[in-house]
């Protein structure tokens, strides 16, 4: 499949996700959103609500939690 994968996480590093296209520390979702965007929010016990709020306000057509 031909798609881009970006990880947004304060604690993630490239060693944990060696094949990811982008690794971001701070979410600026507006720069990443297009009509084919799918956002997956993976709860980890910290800042989950903030991530979900940003995803819901992003305008992305597909959002999963």
Maximum alpha-carbon separation in the chain? 31
Q: What is the pTM of this model?
A: 0.72
1 located within any domain = no
Residue 23 near residue 7 (C-beta atoms within 8 A): yes
Residue 1's pLDDT is what? 67
Count of structural domains within the chain: 1
Domain enclosing residue 46, as ranges: 6-64
Query: Does residue 47 lie in a domain region?
Result: yes
Please report whether residue 40 resides in a domain: yes
Q: Is residue 22 assigned to a domain?
A: yes
pLDDT tens string 20-65 = 998 887 666 777 888 888 988 887 777 678 778 888 888 888 888 8
CA atoms of 51 and 1, how far apart (whole Å): 26
């Amino acid at each position: 499949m031909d798609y881009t994968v970006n990880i947004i996480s304060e604690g993630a590093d490239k060693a944990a996700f060696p094949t990811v296209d982008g690794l971001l520390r701070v979410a600026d979702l507006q720069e990443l959103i297009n009509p084919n965007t799918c956002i997956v929010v993976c709860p980890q016990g910290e800042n989950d609500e903030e991530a979900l709020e940003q995803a819901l306000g992003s305008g992305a057509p597909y959002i999963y939690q």
